[in-house]
Amino acid sequence: MKKTVLLFFCISMLMCLTGSDWLFAQKQGQALIDSLHEKLSVSREDEGKVKLLSALSEALLWSNPDSAMFYAKMQLHLAEMSGWKTYVSEAQARVADAYLHLGNYKQASIEARNAIVTAEASGDKFWIGSAYIECALICVQQGNYVEATEYYYMALKKAEELNDKLATTKQLKSNAYSGIGNVYQCQRHGEEALKNYFVGLKIDSELNHRIAMAGGYNNIANVYADQHKYQEAIVYYNRALTLNREALNKQWEAFNHYNIGSVFQILGSYQDALHSFNEAIKIGEEIKDKTCIASGLTGAGGIYIKLKNYPEAGRLLEKALALVKETGNAEIIRDTYEQLAILDSALGNWRSAFENRKQFIVYRDSIVNQENIQKLTQNQMQYEFDKKEVLSKEEAKLQRNIRNVSFAGIGVLLLFTLVVVRQRNTVRKGKERSDELLLNILPSETAEELKATGVAKAKDFEMVTVMFTDFRNFSQLSKQMNAQQLVNEINYCYSAFDNIISKYGIEKIKTIGDSYMCAGGLPVPNKTHAFDVVSAAIEMRDFMLEERRKREAEGRIFFEIKIGIHTGPVVAGIVGIKKFAYDIWGDTVNLASRMESADEAGKINISEATYNLVKDKFSCSHRGKIAAKNMGEVDMYFVERIL
């Protein structure tokens, strides 16, 4: 199971943003640290000391974050005493870096935001952009991906406002592109992530920033691993590992070992994977880094589950969970809960497995969800629009310079400009509205494909779980309500259903009258779709039973729900040329519908295919073979409760 850990690969991008960049071009590792200590001891100039303290903090960040904190705070004190706002902002970012390495995200966030305030007060666009990058890094670690992209695009805008060819400006752009790539990778948008990573890597290669290049290699390898291109992933991981060893970047080296171990685990080379995870733990303990240790422990725990050494797996995973809860790293917490659920299932501890599985889903959905993806897309579109607006302002400036040529021409020009601006605003507002509507009716991946190419290709999904719901005696009950009451009742139920399936990452397909259809395992395939859909069905059933209880007590009309579920292959795509609709087809859909038709009110009826996937997690009763229209007799089961 491949996992992505981004912290130290992101932080590294800041390394080349400071005035100490020239030092890294000449020296590395302990030799650099010794040289900086020597220079600091003889420096008599306050500004020179500030720069040296910054360089020392930066050099020690990877091997000794406590010492890095000490020198960063010295730098901050001296800069504040001297009243140099730019250096104060830099020092605050250094302190935030140190807190981030020590796993104190809350304090890191405070220092980073202070750095933004100070930088904005100084008016230095470069350091404003750098402070934005720092805040984005912290947001990523806390799982606040939408906010992170906002900061990254703000940093990118600052870099473009500088409009020069300095290495520092180029590096600021590289940091932003690489950070945006990280966020897209977390949201499982591999191709978009690669596009941004390669832009950043190209800039780093031109500047020969080897440490930043190592981070780029690692992140590209992560995407290749997610895409099952394991040989390419190993090549890029090893490139990163070589550069990190040369630079003595211990955290980077630890996470390279961890990621290589993840690939070995997927390939079934468990001993090689265990060796790599143990290397990550060893380095993490050496540098007292909780995030490195926790990730290595989680990886090793997963291997011991594979080797059926359950006591050792449990010990490592519990230790990992305790450590990572101190840091608040959402991704590692998610992965640790997932491994604990797998362990409890193997031991037959079903209740504990269910609780850990719920926690896994909570953290998974906090990281990857449709709303995040939509907002990321909106951030990107807003950035592209703002770029065009800047270009428009430049054009307007040029036109204003022409006005002295002809007084008569200025009237024509102003009229033309007014028309153009109005047209652009109209187009912009229309585009924003159409994008908003498109994302509301289509999965974001499908919407992006449609916008980019004008068409969205149909896709085959080997295994998804489809659910249909219906209300018993709906036609008779609807005659007892007026039109508005009926619409209000259906909207009330369907809104509750929408909220329930959103918790489990299930895609709503459509509603037809009183029939509600949804599916798990698409548009992004996963292995939990059967569990997710059945869990959602239980919540829907319980919601409707509770509504029935309340309404019976009040003497009001109530609906009784029927739910049918089946698992199998489907084809998914867009139909029509007007009022686009994302839909699915195949025998799986038909049989899921038959499951609902053969259900009883207040029950959940599942097929044998779904039962075989969830029988270890839910208590089910076999109904025997029951006739399904046009499909003969089919084995069916009632889901009673979770085990």
Residues 53 and 148 in one domain: yes
| Residue 120 within any structural domain of the chain | yes
Q: What is the pLDDT of residue 620?
A: 93
pTM over 0.85: no
Q: What is the pLDDT of residue 427?
A: 44
Asked whether the predicted pLDDT for residue 412 surpasses 50, the reply is no
* Listed range (152-161, 391-400, 487-496) with the worst mean pLDDT: 391-400
Confidence band, pLDDT 50/70/90 cuts, at residue 114: confident
The label of the residue with tokens 């996470």 reads 255
Residues 377 and 434 in one domain: yes
Structural domain ending residue among the three candidates 174, 195, 216 = 195
Q: What is the pLDDT of residue 379?
A: 53
| Residue 234 within any structural domain of the chain | no
Residues 50 and 83 in one domain: yes
Nearest 5°: the CA angle 308, 259, 372 is 105
Residues 622 and 489 in one domain: yes
Structural domain ending residue among the three candidates 441, 469, 504 = 441
Q: How far apart are CA 234 and CA 229, in angstroms?
A: 9
Alpha carbon distance, N-terminus to C-terminus of the chain: 26
Q: How far apart are CA 350 and CA 360, in angstroms?
A: 15
- Per-residue pLDDT tens for 46-82? 677 777 787 777 777 766 778 888 888 887 888 788 7
Residues 555 and 588 in one domain: yes
Q: Identify the domain containing residue 611 by its residue range.
A: 457-642
Asked whether the predicted pLDDT for residue 186 surpasses 50, the reply is yes
The CATH number linked to 609 is 3.30.70.1230
Query: Distance between alpha carbon 349 and the CA centroid of its chain, in Å?
Result: 30
| Residue 355 within any structural domain of the chain | no
Confidence band, pLDDT 50/70/90 cuts, at residue 310: very high
The CATH number linked to 32 is 1.25.40.10
| Residue 532 within any structural domain of the chain | yes
Percentage of residues of the chain with pLDDT beyond 90: 18
| Residue 117 within any structural domain of the chain | yes
Q: How far apart are CA 630 and CA 176, in angstroms?
A: 57
Q: Which residue type sits at 55? A: A
Structural domain ending residue among the three candidates 171, 195, 219 = 195
The label of the residue with tokens 């993490």 reads 284
Percentage of residues of the chain with pLDDT beyond 70: 77
Asked whether the predicted pLDDT for residue 229 surpasses 50, the reply is yes
Q: How far apart are CA 273 and CA 463, in angstroms?
A: 29
Region of residue 123 (left: phi > 0; alpha: psi -120 to 50; beta: else):
left
Q: Which residues pair with 520 in a beta bridge?
A: 465
| Residue 431 within any structural domain of the chain | yes
Residues 388 and 483 in one domain: no
Asked whether the predicted pLDDT for residue 563 surpasses 90, the reply is yes
Residues 36 and 163 in one domain: yes
| Tally of structural domains, the chain | 3
Residues 403 and 508 in one domain: no
- Per-residue pLDDT tens for 419-476? 444 555 544 544 444 454 445 555 555 555 555 555 556 688 889 999 999 888 777 7
Residues 56 and 93 in one domain: yes
State the chain's mean pLDDT as an integer: 77
Residues 410 and 526 in one domain: no
Residues 396 and 497 in one domain: no
Instruction: Kindly compute the dihedral angle of the four CA atoms of residues 156, 157, 160, 166, in this order, to the nearest 10 degrees.
Output: -50
- Per-residue pLDDT tens for 193-203? 898 999 988 98
The pLDDT of 351-378, averaged and rounded, is: 67
Confidence band, pLDDT 50/70/90 cuts, at residue 160: confident
| Residue 261 within any structural domain of the chain | no
Residues 399 and 515 in one domain: no
The pLDDT of 469-493, averaged and rounded, is: 81
